[in-house]
Structures are given as C-alpha cells and as structure tokens.
Structure 1
Amino acid sequence: MKIVKFILCFLFALVFINAGLDKFFHYSPMPKLTAEQEKIFAAFVEIGWLMPLVGIVEVIGGVLFIFPKTRALGAIIILPVMVGIVLHNVYRDPNQMGIIMSVVMFLINIWALIDNREKYKALIS
C-alpha cells in the first residue's frame, strides 16, 4: 500500500510540476478554445502577474507533494489551485473528461489532506 501511495502522490505532483513549468516555458500545445474560454484566457494574460504566480504555486506545491515529510504542506499549497481547476472545468469547460480528471485530482488532494490531518492540528488548536 505504501508504494501505491507514493506512486499516486508522485504522479499527482508531476502533473502540477508540469503545469507550472508550462506557464513559464509554453511547451505544451494550447487546446482549441471556445470564444468564452479565449476571453477568460485573455483576462488572465492581461493580469500579468497571475499566471506566473499560479505556475510558482504549482511547481512548489508539486515538489513538496512528492516527499512524505512535506506532503501536508504541498497539499495545502495546491488546494486553492485545485479548487479553481475543478470550478473552471465544471462551469466553463463542460468537457466530461476534463471534469472527471479534475475531480479525481481533487479527491487525491483531499485524501492527502485527510491522511496528514495530524500535522494540521497545531495550526487549528
């Protein structure tokens, strides 16, 4: 079970590290966007600091998520980005595969939070 947990967390982290690095190096092809998605993307680009900030959060959170000792911090750091991804996929990109993928990723993030709940007790006590 421990190896399955590591592999799952490692793959989750790689997705975020890749997504974060792509925000800086633009190596993945852009998918075909609807007119509404193009407007949203243009707004994000117009706010010049937003995409680099999200990229940094994704890379740092992903790297922290790989290691069991820092996974709790990585899960907290990635959570707001993950919520945004799920909301975007549900409301702005009703592509069934995107929704399924984002919900699975969100559940992995929630599982990591629950699995590390003991580490958070000091924060809320």
Structure 2
Amino acid sequence: MKKVLDLLPSVLVGALFLFGGLNFFFNFVAQPPMTGDPGVFMGVLFSSGILKVIKVLEVIGGALILFPSKRALGLTILAPITVNILLFELFLAHAPSVGVALMVLSAIIAYQEREKFKALL
C-alpha cells in the first residue's frame, strides 16, 4: 500500500502534464475561449510561439516523471511551469484550481526525491 501511495503523486502529475501537453497538439478536449486579462495573456503566449515550447516541455517532463530514475529531472523541468500555472490562476484568472493541486503534489514528489536535490542546496 505504501508503494502505491508513493507512486500516486508522480502518476497524477505525470498524467496531468502529459494530457495537457498532448491536448494542445491533438485537441482531445476543446478548451473554452478565455476572456479578459487571462485571454490576452494566453493570446500573447500562443501568437509568439512560446506556448508550443511550454507544451513540449510539459510532455517531456510529464513522461520523465513517470520513470522513477528520471523523476527528479522531470520535476526540475516541470517546476517552473507549475509555479507559473499557480501564479496565472492566482493573479490573472483569480480562480485557484489545479495549480494548487500541482504545487502540493510537486512538493510531495520533491520531498520523496530530496536525496537527489541535496546537491542543489
């Protein structure tokens, strides 16, 4: 049971980022248009091409986080994206949702992989 609970955060984060990244390219689920400041922000990201880079990194990080030996590398790629999702939700959309869950799950994964991150501190 402990192994399942240890794997759960990684599977959830990996699946969310894989689905989100692949959905951008293959449009599994249509996204409703954004309005106001969030719409302007996303429009700039989309028109500049930066969003494509972010989505490629989401797919790569989401895939890496599913492999135990590459989990720390995947989290390193996804950490700035996760922080930006949370900040977008808090300051532009004014509706925290999945960003909070991603931050909590990422913190759990970072704690689980703390030995690999000790060299950075």
TM-score (norm 2): 0.88
Tell me how far apart the structure 2 counterparts of residues 75 and 101 of structure 1 sit (CA, whole Å): 17
* Aligned ranges 1:49-60 → 2 under 5 Å: 50-60=50-60
**Are 1:62 and 1:74, in contact at CA under 8 Å, matched by a contact in 2?**
yes
Residue of structure 1 in register with 2:29 after alignment: 28
The CA deviation at 1:110 is: 1.5
Q: Cα RMSD between the aligned structures?
A: 1.6
The change in CA–CA distance for 1:110 and 1:8 in structure 2 (over 3 A counts) is closer
Unpaired runs of at least 5, structure 1: none
**Are 1:76 and 1:113, in contact at CA under 8 Å, matched by a contact in 2?**
no
Partner amino acid, structure 2, of 1:43: V
Unpaired runs of at least 5, structure 2: none
Q: How many residues align?
A: 120
**Are 1:86 and 1:106, in contact at CA under 8 Å, matched by a contact in 2?**
yes
Residue of structure 2 in register with 1:38 after alignment: 39
**Are 2:9 and 2:108, in contact at CA under 8 Å, matched by a contact in 1?**
no
Q: Deviations over 1:24-82 (max 9, x none)?
A: 2223211242222221122112212x111111111111111112111111111100000
Partner amino acid, structure 2, of 1:41: M
Tell me how far apart the structure 2 counterparts of residues 78 and 21 of structure 1 sit (CA, whole Å): 15
Tell me how far apart the structure 1 counterparts of residues 91 and 119 of structure 2 sit (CA, whole Å): 36
Residue of structure 2 in register with 1:102 after alignment: 99
Tell me how far apart the structure 2 counterparts of residues 105 and 45 of structure 1 sit (CA, whole Å): 22
Q: Which has the higher contact order (CA 8 A, sep 6+)?
A: 2
Partner amino acid, structure 2, of 1:51: L
Partner amino acid, structure 2, of 1:91: F
* Aligned ranges 1:1-125 → 2 under 5 Å: 1-48=2-49, 50-95=50-95, 99-124=96-121
**Are 1:23 and 1:51, in contact at CA under 8 Å, matched by a contact in 2?**
no
What percent identity do the matched residue pairs reach? 28
* Stretch moving more, 70-79 or 99-108: 99-108
Tell me how far apart the structure 2 counterparts of residues 31 and 113 of structure 1 sit (CA, whole Å): 33
